[in-house]
Amino acid sequence: GDSVTQMEGPVTLSEEAFLTINCTYTATGYPSLFWYVQYPGEGLQLLLKATKADDKGSNKGFEATYRKETTSFHLEKGSVQVSDSAVYFCALSDRSNTGKLIFGQGTTLQVKP
């Protein structure tokens, strides 16, 4: 079945460092891909999405490109801030009528001043 694999956390970075969180997927067909962020004590918020190959999603300085050839959707940010500390989830939508999302296991990011 469809699945999403994220890099293991926690990831600890200093402020202004470059961030990459790897995400790869297995799916039949052409799923839509998402990155969600969860701040402490809150629900998930959509960070960015891409619906077809070579699409680049971007928001708040974060970017991810839908790479069909490598089945990847890696999250990047050029300069992280302490306020980016959160748990990041990669997810895919199977495009069926259920609208179900399949989530990766989440990657905790801690940014130190």
Q: Which residues bind another protein (CB under 8 A)?
A: 32, 34, 36, 38, 41-46, 49, 51, 87, 89, 93, 95-101, 103, 105-106, 108
Nearer to another protein, 53 or 78 (CB): 53
Q: Is the dihedral of CA 103, 92, 100, 89 positive or negative?
A: positive
Smallest gap from Cβ 66 to another protein, in A, equals 13
Reported residue count of the chain is: 113
Beta-sheet pairing, 23-26 with 3-6: antiparallel
Q: Which of 42, 31, 22, 14 is nearest to 90 (CA)?
A: 22
Smallest gap from Cβ 112 to another protein, in A, equals 20
Smallest gap from Cβ 12 to another protein, in A, equals 16
Nearer to another protein, 10 or 78 (CB): 10
Give the 3-state secondary structure of residue 40: coil
